[in-house]
């Protein structure tokens, strides 16, 4: 199935967020995104994949009103972003690319409690929400630490906890596994999948196509400020022409699969994108011999 090129930006049922941004122009005249139609549906993980400077962060910052379209609109739960004001954090949370942009309080607990307190929760409830969130990301024990002294991986987990504590319906994460070791990356992947399991939708901007293949229901390819194609990982990651046009390399599993099938001289309709799917395909081929 050919991935769909985005053409029209029509509101549809089940949308949590609808971005219809004709353009976002930064004060210096740089165009961050343009002709951008983007939707977030219920209970899905969407990955934004594209080269440096393609507009992923700019799009993410439109999802909770940190940036607004120069021309166009953003609707959250069917309501215009402009009317949501501070309430936006109840619906959409953003985990920034640089953890140091997010952490500011004297202790981890203060930091994670900040959002809930700002939403009007009592100190007691905010503390309970913060502790729950720290538990959910496996960061209990860090409550009394100074955020600035945490490791990069710990900072990322605390940033995620700070957003989780507000219990939003959508969480957008900008390159959540960049600079993380394999263990912390896996922890973040598990958190994302756990969120979807609990009915939270997650938008992830990432250069890690292997991770996107493992966790995403939908891949959006972002190039030069627009989404040029979207579809399931198995559709997008086997489209060599599309990936090459976007300056991207297929995930490792896809490359291995293509090489194996080529050297074995067999065609196959299956399109594995995860290691488990590839193992399943190879086992099937061996059994048939």
Ligand X SMILES: Nc1ncnc2c1ncn2[C@@H]1O[C@H](COP(=O)(O)OP(=O)(O)OP(=O)(O)O)[C@@H](O)[C@H]1O
User: Which stretches of the chain bind ligand X, using CB under 6 A?
Assistant: 26, 28, 30, 32, 50, 52-58
Cβ proximity to ligand X, 51 vs 138, nearer residue: 51
Q: Minimal distance in Å, beta carbon 114 to ligand X?
A: 24
Helix (H) and strand (E) counts for the chain? 12, 10
Q: What are 38's strand-pairing partners? A: 19
Cβ proximity to ligand X, 26 vs 104, nearer residue: 26
Complete edge-to-edge strand list for the sheet that includes strand 71-76 = 31-41, 15-25, 71-76, 79-80
Cβ proximity to ligand X, 109 vs 220, nearer residue: 220
Cβ proximity to ligand X, 54 vs 226, nearer residue: 54
Cβ proximity to ligand X, 210 vs 277, nearer residue: 210
Q: Minimal distance in Å, beta carbon 39 to ligand X?
A: 19
Alpha carbons 68 and 48: distance in angstroms, whole number: 19
Name the residue among 36, 40, 7, 16 with its Cα closest to residue 24.
36
Alpha carbons 15 and 22: distance in angstroms, whole number: 19
Q: Minimal distance in Å, beta carbon 237 to ligand X?
A: 18
H-type alpha helices, 141-289: 152-164, 182-197, 209-215, 233-236, 240-245, 252-264, 275-288
- Using an 8 Å Cβ cutoff, are 156 and 175 in contact? no
Cβ proximity to ligand X, 32 vs 115, nearer residue: 32
- Using an 8 Å Cβ cutoff, are 118 and 86 in contact? yes
Q: Minimal distance in Å, beta carbon 97 to ligand X?
A: 6
Q: Minimal distance in Å, beta carbon 24 to ligand X?
A: 8
Q: What are 172's strand-pairing partners? A: 94, 203
Q: Minimal distance in Å, beta carbon 16 to ligand X?
A: 21
């Amino acid at each position: 199935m050919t991935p769909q090129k985005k053409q029209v930006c029509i509101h549809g049922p089940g949308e949590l967020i609808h971005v219809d941004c004709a353009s976002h122009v930064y004060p210096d005249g740089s165009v961050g995104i343009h002709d951008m139609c983007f939707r977030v549906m219920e209970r899905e993980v969407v990955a934004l994949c594209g080269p440096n400077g393609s507009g992923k962060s700019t799009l993410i910052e439109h999802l909770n009103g940190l940036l607004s379209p120069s021309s166009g609109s953003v609707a959250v739960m069917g309501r215009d972003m402009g009317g949501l004001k501070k309430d936006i954090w109840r619906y959409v949370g953003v985990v920034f690319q640089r953890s140091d942009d997010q952490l500011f309080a004297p202790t981890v607990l203060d930091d994670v409690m900040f959002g809930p307190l700002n939403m009007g929760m009592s100190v007691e409830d905010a503390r309970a929400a913060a502790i729950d969130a720290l538990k959910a990301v496996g960061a209990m024990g860090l409550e009394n630490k100074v955020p600035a002294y945490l490791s990069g991986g710990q900072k990322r987990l605390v940033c995620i906890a700070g957003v989780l504590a507000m219990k939003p319906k959508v969480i957008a994460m900008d390159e959540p596994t960049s600079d993380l070791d394999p263990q912390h990356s896996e922890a973040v992947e598990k958190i994302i999948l756990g969120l979807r399991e609990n009915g939270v939708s997650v938008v992830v901007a990432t250069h890690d196509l292997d991770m996107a293949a493992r966790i995403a229901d939908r891949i959006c390819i972002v190039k030069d400020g627009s989404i040029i194609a979207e579809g399931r990982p198995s559709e997008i990651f086997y489209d060599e022409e599309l990936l090459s046009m976007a300056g991207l390399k297929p995930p490792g599993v896809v490359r291995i699969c293509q090489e194996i099938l080529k050297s074995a001289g067999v065609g196959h309709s299956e399109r594995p994108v995860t290691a488990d799917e590839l193992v399943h395909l190879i086992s099937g081929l061996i059994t048939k011999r």
